[in-house]
Amino acid sequence: MIGTYDLVVALLSVAISLGMVGVCLRQKIFRRYLFINLYILVSAAHTLGTLYFIHYYGYRSLTYFYFYYTGDAVGSMIGYLLIASFFDKLLRDSVFRPYIRPTLGIFFIMVVGISALFVWRNYSTLYSSFLIELQQNMFFVGVLLTFLLWLSMNYLHAESRRFVLLVSGLGIYFSAHAANYALQFLSSGLKNALTMVPPLAYTLMVALWLYTFWRVPEGEAAMESVPRPQESLVKVKILSE
């Protein structure tokens, strides 16, 4: 059985997810944000599935293990498509646009290939090892691509506040996981407490996305442009001369 905390967080995440999809449907932007909605729906179904499997098969059962990680792998792939769609949106007017989709497609095939290569010798537990390896790789891919997305967003001065908040949600999610992972190295005594963080990080991300779709209008500017101080411009001019 799972504890009250896990149950509350799981049900809360499902409620917020469905709320977010409901807001998107009401505003008729479901298709425009297809991948984010698909990701949320798959995650919500996965969460409900975990509760079902824990109830009928037990938390430590192998059936639950396989269900969780297979569903997680599917969700990670849709998450990858979501990050790719953000890149596509951000670099729409850039010279790099025709390169985004093929690059991310080739990269994904390489990641799956690397994951398969690492576990190839482990025949007896091939499927489960592959799932764990793939999930780990997808985690690092997520961290890496979100970081690159954030850098590009700052460099290209993303204009839409809604877009910035959606990317920030991903940032919160992945940075919480990374911090959690790092803390596991530092203190093994905190391990039980740290297992509570990933579902909470996911719930916070979905809550931020719900807020974004609910309260932030589509065309709202990310920030007002800050004029460069005259003094620094003069300094640059002097140095260049």
Partner 1 sequence: MRIRSFLGNKSSMGVLGKMRRLLVCLLFSLLLVCSLIGLKNVVAQAGSDTPVVLAIGGGPPPPIPDLGH
Is 191 or 235 the residue whose CB approaches partner 1 more closely?
191
DSSP helix/strand/coil, 1: coil
Question: What does the DSSP 8-state code read for residue 187?
Answer: -
d(CA 147, CA 164): 13
Give the one residue of 80, 163, 202, 209 binding partner 1; rule: CB under 8 A.
202
Number of residues that bind partner 1 (CB under 8 A): 67
Name the phi and psi angles at 208, rounded to 5.
-65, -40
Is 103 or 154 the residue whose CB approaches partner 1 more closely?
103
Q: Does residue 162 contact residue 221 with C-beta atoms inside 8 Å?
A: no
Is 136 or 154 the residue whose CB approaches partner 1 more closely?
136
d(CA 133, CA 111): 10
- The 33-72 contact track toward partner 1, x by CB under 8 A, reads ---------xxx-xx-xxx--x----xx-x-xx--xx-xx
Q: How far is the CB of 158 from partner 1 (least distance, A)?
A: 20
Please tell me whether residue 128 binds partner 1 under the rule CB under 8 A.
yes
d(CA 27, CA 208): 17
Please tell me whether residue 141 binds partner 1 under the rule CB under 8 A.
yes
Is 64 or 163 the residue whose CB approaches partner 1 more closely?
64
The Cα-based distances of 2 to 10, 16, 204 in angstroms read 11, 21, 20
Among the listed ranges 84-92, 94-102, 152-160, 225-233, the one in contact with partner 1 (CB under 8 A) is 94-102
Tell me, rounded to whole angstroms, the distance of Cα 241 from its chain centroid.
46
Is 152 or 160 the residue whose CB approaches partner 1 more closely?
152
| Torsion 108-164-203-11 (CA) sign | negative
Cβ contacts of residue 51 below 8 Å, gap of 6+? 2, 7, 10
Cβ contacts of residue 58 below 8 Å, gap of 6+? 64
Q: How far is the CB of 204 from partner 1 (least distance, A)?
A: 11
198's enclosing H/E stretch is helix 197-215
Is 179 or 234 the residue whose CB approaches partner 1 more closely?
179
Please tell me whether residue 137 binds partner 1 under the rule CB under 8 A.
yes
Q: Footprint of partner 1 on this chain (CB under 8 A)?
A: 2, 6, 9-14, 42-44, 46-47, 49-51, 54, 59-60, 62, 64-65, 68-69, 71-72, 75-76, 79, 95-96, 98-99, 102-103, 106-107, 110-111, 114, 122, 125, 128-129, 132, 135-145, 177, 181-182, 184-185, 195, 198-199, 201-203
